[in-house]
């Protein structure tokens, strides 16, 4: 069995600003807690006002006057590929730190999240060299040329979530840099270790000072300063909807670009003509991945009435195959980890109690684990049946291993249930009738939809967007760019029409 603690620094992890590893003037640190046992195993420095100002100044200079803004797309691409290679060399270390910090399964981080992180830098290194615009035919008797180009926003503040900071951080940062921006990264206070460790790779590879800055600290201070600063051109957040609303309010005075990837309460519609066993396996995967801490999780399963009871029985049986525990105990069969923190664990438990009090039928789970795992944040997969659309657990994002099952008769009723929430992040439909599959998928109000499968098969190639209260802004590399349209007069001595 691997010893993950051999990769943990004894001294607090420093911030990375302007190409230097910085100890904040306050000297304040935060404990890094392992969700498996709620014990501190590392410390990171906590950034404050002075560090935020320094990071903004460094990123501004690197973009406006430094070498980054003057580099060619090819030069930036080569640096991204160098980062990819160094990240690949250190994948075991980064996988260990991410699993310790977030309570993830080590096998998941090493065999999936690290390859996805590495691939993001390779993908966007290619994208950096393919940022094409277009020529637009315009009226004017052939005397005018109009062309559209894509340009970097400038200084981008990227605020990361705690449920997958390494993979999502790599996907966001690589796109930001490929677009030609500089970046200030603020990881979550609950999960910042892997991002601080990445700083040494950016430094080793030779990114110019100020191009990448990584600063920890509270959202109320660090995040708010980044949002309000006139010297930050864009703020991008992956997080909760309530946090997104606050960013919209805080950005009003500076009127900057914002991109928000927010919460979800995604529907998974199961029609009666499916292979029941296969559909149950996908449904289970859809709400239990990463212990349910995935924004696009299929947490509302909408099942046709003729197979409703059989579906619940089968899904309940599959839930018994999970073994909860430390994600590094994969040789002992552990395949289900804890929630990120005590605070979040209590939030999920409160939702479970609300589901019970509002009349939903608890099929399995619903309690915090006792015994040898009682010190951790473990909740076993929880199934609620007979959930109606007015219930809180149907309407609100729980962000844990809790699924709500509802019954429908007709296709129209299924679609109405699917769209009956404020979110529109993802959705799925399972049916052997491919015409119906496409028809229902088209009517689901969400930015990412799956037919007879669950979860994206191309996160960087085909990034989803949030509809309704699930997000704001486009996806992919153009999320971090502005378009510019330019008109050129081709004839000589043309006078304006008067």
Residues marked active site are found at 261, 295
Residue 462 Cα to chain centre, angstroms: 14
The position carrying tokens 């473990």 is: 378
Asked if 219 and 115 count as a contact pair (C-beta separation under 8 A), the reply is: no
> How far, CA to CA in Å, does 389 sit from each of 102, 419, 420, 421?
32, 10, 7, 8
E-assigned strand segments in 239-322: 257-261, 267-270, 300-304
How many Å apart are CA 31 and CA 10, to the nearest integer? 12
Give the burial string for 170-206 (b: 16+ CB within 10 Å, else e).
bbbbbbbbbbbbbbbbbbbbbbbbbbbbbbebbeebe
Backbone angles phi, psi at 286, to 5 degrees: -65, -25
Give the burial string for 293-302 (b: 16+ CB within 10 Å, else e).
bbbbbbbbbb
The position carrying tokens 């306050």 is: 26
- Residues 6+ positions from 456 with CB-CB distance below 8 Å: 296, 448, 450, 462, 464
CB atoms within 10 A of CB 56: 23
How many Å apart are CA 98 and CA 452, to the nearest integer? 31
Q: In this structure, what DSSP letter does residue 302 have?
A: E
Q: In this structure, what DSSP letter does residue 410 have?
A: S
How many Å apart are CA 344 and CA 360, to the nearest integer? 22
Q: Give the up-direction half-sphere exposure of residue 346: CA atoms within 13 A in the CB hemisphere.
A: 3
Asked if 398 and 384 count as a contact pair (C-beta separation under 8 A), the reply is: no
SS3 391: coil
Q: Which helix (H) or strand (E) holds 33?
A: strand 29-34
């Amino acid at each position: 069995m691997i010893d993950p603690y051999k990769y943990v620094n004894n001294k607090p992890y420093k911030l990375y600003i302007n190409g230097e590893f910085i100890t904040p003037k306050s000297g304040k640190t935060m404990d890094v807690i392992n969700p498996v046992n709620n014990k501190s195993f590392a410390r990171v420095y906590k950034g404050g006002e002075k560090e935020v100002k320094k990071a903004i100044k460094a990123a501004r200079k690197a973009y406006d006057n430094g070498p980054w803004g003057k580099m060619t797309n090819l030069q930036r691409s080569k640096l991204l590929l160098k980062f990819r290679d160094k990240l690949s060399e250190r994948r075991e270390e980064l996988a260990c730190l991410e699993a310790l910090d977030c309570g993830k399964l080590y096998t998941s981080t090493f065999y999936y999240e690290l390859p996805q992180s590495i691939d993001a830098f390779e993908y966007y290194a290619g994208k950096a060299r393919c940022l094409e615009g277009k020529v637009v035919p315009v009226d004017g008797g052939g005397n005018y040329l109009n062309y559209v180009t894509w340009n970097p926003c400038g200084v981008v503040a990227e605020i990361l979530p705690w449920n997958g900071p390494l993979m999502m951080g790599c996907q966001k940062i690589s796109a930001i840099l490929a677009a030609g921006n500089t970046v200030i990264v603020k990881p979550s206070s609950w999960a910042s270790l892997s991002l601080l460790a990445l700083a040494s790779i950016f430094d080793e590879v030779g990114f110019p000072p100020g191009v990448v800055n990584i600063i920890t600290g509270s959202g109320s201070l660090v995040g708010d300063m980044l949002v309000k600063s006139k010297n930050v051109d864009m703020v991008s957040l992956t997080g909760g909807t309530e946090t997104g609303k606050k960013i919209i309010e805080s950005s009003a005075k500076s009127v900057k670009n914002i991109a928000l990837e927010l919460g979800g309460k995604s529907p998974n519609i199961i029609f009666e003509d499916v292979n029941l066993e296969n559909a149950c396996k996908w449904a289970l995967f859809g709400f239990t991945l990463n212990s349910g801490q995935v924004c696009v999780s299929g947490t509302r399963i909408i099942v046709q009435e003729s197979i409703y009871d059989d579906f619940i029985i089968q899904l309940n049986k599959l839930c018994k195959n999970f073994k909860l525990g430390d994600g590094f105990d994969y040789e002992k069969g552990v395949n289900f980890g804890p929630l990120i923190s005590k605070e979040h664990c209590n939030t999920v438990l409160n939702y479970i109690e609300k589901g019970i009090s509002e009349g939903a039928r608890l099929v399995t789970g619903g309690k915090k684990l006792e015994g040898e795992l009682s010190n951790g944040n473990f909740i076993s997969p929880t199934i609620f049946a007979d959930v109606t659309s007015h219930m809180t657990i149907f309407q609100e994002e729980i962000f844990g291993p809790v699924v709500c099952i509802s019954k429908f008769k007709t296709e129209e009723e299924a679609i109405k249930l699917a769209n009956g929430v404020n979110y529109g992040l993802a959705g799925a439909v399972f049916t052997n009738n491919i015409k119906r599959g496409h028809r229902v998928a088209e009517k689901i109000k969400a930015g990412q939809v799956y037919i007879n499968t669950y979860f994206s098969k191309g996160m960087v190639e085909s990034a989803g967007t949030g509809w309704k209260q699930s997000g704001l802004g486009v996806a992919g590399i153009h999320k971090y760019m502005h378009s510019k349209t330019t008109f050129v007069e081709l004839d000589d001595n043309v006078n304006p029409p008067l």
